[in-house]
Amino acid sequence: MSNENIITVGDLEFPPRKVWLKTYGCQMNYHDTERILSHLGSLNFTLAEEQHDADLVIFNTCAVRDLANQKFYSHLGEAKHLKERTDIDPQTGLKKNVIVAAGGCIAQTEGKELVAKYKQLDFAFGTDVIDNIGEMVYRAYAGEKKFTVTSWDRSDNYSIETKITQGTPQAFVNIIKGCDKFCSYCIVPFTRGREKSRRLDEIVKDVSRLVEYSGIQEVTLLGQNVNSFGKDHGESLAQLITELDKINGLELIRYTTSHPYDVSDELVDVHRTAKKLANHLHLPVQSGSNTVLQRMLREYTIEHYLGLLAKMRKANPNMIISSDIIAGFPNETEEEHQETLKLLELAQFDFIFSYSYSSRKGTKAARMDDVLTEDIRGRRLREIQAKQLGIQEKIRQEMVGKTYRVLVEEKGLNKGVTKWTGRTSCSRIVHFEPETPESNYQWHWVDVEIISVTALSTQGRLVKDYGKKL
Ligand code: SF4
């Protein structure tokens, strides 16, 4: 078997394997089974038509319907012979080792007893942990035997203290690690694991300490999907920002990265109420086409996304929005690409990070048969970038004559002229000339009036220097 067909996750290799799923009971269970199958695709499983062809057998049980209940026990009893197989697995060359699992309602309540009673059952998992099936299958293939998972163990809290090494007033503060999304092009959920949030109280103390003892004035809250922050503890990003907003001496709060599916109304509202929250939202859209978004497993539509932008801009009329775009996702049609160009017009992003699609081994997208060439991808990327530059030059013209508060970062030479450079609350980079060649503005807060702009650069005039503290 070619190595290209093998997915490596952690320390294990997953060759192509088959899963056979038996669903009992209601429509909800059938939806759950689809979710299970979707997650297992990331571990190289495809659906087996027959139980006999399967490497992994999963019974998705129902505790409500009696008949379904009886059928499950009967099928589980018959599964004993799966463990007695002596034939050779064509993928591994070893004796076929079929793994048997039970999920769903019965497993939620009686998982431990089932695993203890039925020798053929390798593990059981409840309805609460369906989205963690990948990790359980990984554990089973890593050799772990006879385990039950009915609630996701988040007891090993994600707890850290932010370390400052740079001596600047800016700090990056991790608030959540991992990701529970499974965007089809992204390997993060497999490399970083599942989402785990720090506790809100801990972060507030951490930031207070940074402000008081390390002179931090600007924090950027970090995570793969910060909008999911606190879900495991009944807390939220909006609550966290509201608490951080109260810290004396902290001047600016940023957060990144956001997933559009998880932007709540509560978060939109905090952009209206929190005084220190930056006038900037980076909200990756990735494509302007609903059909591409579906293939990317992004869980939102363009209509939903544009609705979010409208709500954000209503909550804070000074808000500027930036985004990420992937050009040439596998099998993207010319029409789908045109939809992305159209989205740029509709969304009016201030800037974008745009990339040509590149395959990540181990992802679902990497296994798609793709007809696009690198030439097509390159051309589409250039079209996206050219379109965006035209849009952002126009947007930025509106800055001329307005005054912005800037935290100055560094000095540089621009066409032989010394200029200082800083960032506005809305994340625009601004350059301005010093009053005298000796003037030093590093880490000063200044007001700058914008005098000229291009798509990529903003020039200003110093209006007021506040020094290192506002
Ligand atoms: S793209 Fe972002 S949200 Fe999607 S799986 Fe990767 S880290 Fe998670």
pLDDT class of 31 with cuts at 50, 70, 90: low
Bond prior to 242 in cis (omega within 30° of 0): no
pLDDT at 174 over 90: no
pLDDT digits (tens, 9 = 90+) for 276-303: 999 999 999 999 999 999 999 999 999 9
Distance of CA 76 from the midpoint of ligand 1 (Å):
36
**Which overall architecture, per CATH, does domain 170-397 show?**
Alpha-Beta Horseshoe (3.80)
What are 382's strand-pairing partners? none
Q: Which of 194, 228, 259 to mutate to test the pocket of ligand 1 (most atoms within 8 A of CB)?
A: 259
- Residue corresponding to tokens 């209940």: 69
* CATH architecture type of domain 403-467: Beta Barrel (2.40)
Q: Which residues contact 420 (CB under 8 A, 6 or more apart)?
A: 408, 410, 411, 412, 431, 432, 433, 434, 441, 442
Cα of 297 from ligand 1 centre, angstroms: 10
Q: Which amino acid would we find at residue 123?
A: F
Distance from the CA of 208 to the center of ligand 1, in angstroms? 30
Q: What is the pLDDT of residue 262?
A: 94
Give 230 Cα–ligand 1 centroid separation in angstroms. 17
Least confident interval from 51-55, 131-135, 346-350: 131-135
Distance CA 232, CA 104 (A): 21
Which protein residues are within 6 Å of ligand 1, measured from CB?
A: 179, 181-183, 186, 188-189, 224-225, 259
Residue limits of CATH 2.40.50.140 in the chain: 403-467
Q: What is the structure's pLDDT at 225? A: 92
pLDDT at 102 over 80: yes
pLDDT score at 270: 98
What value does the mean pLDDT take over residues 352-374? Answer: 90
What Rg, from alpha-carbon coordinates, does the chain have?
26
Q: Is the pLDDT of residue 152 over 70?
A: no
The least confident of 2-11, 140-149, 221-230, 342-351 is 2-11
**Protein residue with least CA distance to atom 3, ligand 1:** 181
pLDDT average, residue stretch 27-49:
81
Query: Candidates 188, 194, 195, 222: which one to mutate for ligand 1, based on the most atoms within 8 Å of Cβ?
Result: 188
Return the ligand 1 atom nearest residue 180 CA. Answer: 8
Which residues make up the CATH 3.80.30.20 domain(s) of the chain? Answer: 170-397
Residue 1 pLDDT: 55
Q: Which residues pair with 124 in a beta bridge?
A: 102, 148
What one-letter code names the amino acid at 345? E
DSSP symbols for 154-178: --S---------S-SSEEEEE-EES
Q: Say what the pLDDT of residue 66 is.
A: 66
The answer to whether 111 touches 101, Cβ cutoff 8 Å, is no
pLDDT at 13: 87
The token duo for 436 is: 């005298």
Which part of the chain is CATH 3.40.50.12160? 3-149
323-357 confidence digits (pLDDT tens):
999 999 999 999 999 999 999 999 999 999 999 99
Pairing of strands 99-104, 458-467: unpaired
- Ligand 1: nearest atom to the Cα of 297: 4
DSSP 8-class letter at 89: P
| CATH 3.40.50.12160 for domain 3-149 | yes
